Structure 1
Amino acid sequence: MLIRAARADEAEILSELAIRSKAYWGYDETFMATCRHELVVPASEVENLRTAVAEHDGHILGFATLEGEPPEGALGMLFVDPRAIGEGIGRRLFEHVTSTARGLGFARLTIDADPNAEPFYLAMGATRIASTPSDSIPGRMLPLLVITVAERRAGGEDPHSRD
């Protein structure tokens, strides 16, 4: 399996994968229609979102985005094709994003997790710090998680700066 930067012309494929992946948890059609806009990856944003894809034999099996600017950002999206869930693709994408974040000078990443995905993120080392309201479903609260990807030096210095 190869993890590489996504291309803008793959945005529709990524959006469809995100929708299939979200539906994997058994959400009904009304729920999926309500949150569909959150699952769309605009072609114009693929690069800005630092989108990475997991690919095998020319097939995209999952993708993730690293959003924001150092020192604090977000794991914006992480979706795996339902046919490939359980094969370690989510773990590889998560490790890729955290490694990339560390290399770019991020110290922490937040994750607005689907409640069904929270156990995965906790197993990957994230910690639940709060709940956050869903952007799509009024009254629905989502786990807000954080993962430290690099320790900050005393005095707030960037651990990646060179003297």
Structure 2
Amino acid sequence: MDLRPARADEAGLLSGLALESKGHWDYDEAFLAACREELTLRPDDIERLRTTVAEEGGRVLGFTTLEGAPPEGALGMMFVAPGAIGRGLGRRLFEHAMAQARRLGFARLTIDADPNAEPFYAAMGAVRIGSTPSGSIPGRELPLMEYSLTPC
């Protein structure tokens, strides 16, 4: 598996992957439709959000975005194709994003986690520091997590 910067022409593919990945948690169609705009990447977002893809055999299996400006930013999006979940891809993407963040001078990243992904982020070393309102579903709260970056 290779990790590489995403290309602007992959924005639609990545948006679709985000929705497919979100659907892994058995959310219904109405819920996913409400999330569509928030999970949509546009070509001009790709570079600005420091988007990285995981690719295997020419197929994109996951991606992350690293948002903000040092010293504090966010792991904005992290999605893995449902068929690739459980193969260590999420760990590789997360570790790559954290290494990139360190190189860029970030000291702290926040993560607005899907409740189903909170255990994964906790296993990676992120700590829940509160909650944040969903950008898609009125009244829904998401775990707000923090990952502190320390020099290696």
Q: C-alpha distance in 1, partners of 2:111/2:133? A: 13
Write out aligned runs for 1:2-81 (5 A).
Answer: 2-81=2-81
1:92 Cα deviation after fit: 0.4
Aligned to 1:117: 117
Deviation at 1:138, TM superposition (A): 1.0
The TM-score, its normalising length taken from structure 2, stands at 0.98
Match of 1:155 in 2: none
Give distance in 1, aligned partners of 2:34 and 2:72. Answer: 29
Q: d(CA) in 2 for partners of 1:79 and 1:11? A: 13
Counterpart amino acid of residue 17 in structure 2: L
* Amino acid corresponding to residue 36 of structure 2 in structure 1: R
Separation of aligned partners in 1, 2:44 and 2:128: 32
Q: Which runs of 5+ in 1 are unaligned?
A: 152-163
Taking every aligned residue pair, what percent have the same amino acid on both sides? 66
Residue 47 of structure 2 aligns to a residue whose secondary structure is coil
Q: Where does structure 1 differ by over 6 angstroms across 4 or more consecutive aligned residues?
A: none
For these two proteins, the number of residue pairs brought into alignment is 152
1:43-63 Cα offsets, whole Å, 9 max, x none, are: 111000000000011000000
SS of alignment partner, residue 47 of structure 1: helix
* Cα distance in structure 2, aligned partners of 1:135 and 1:82: 23
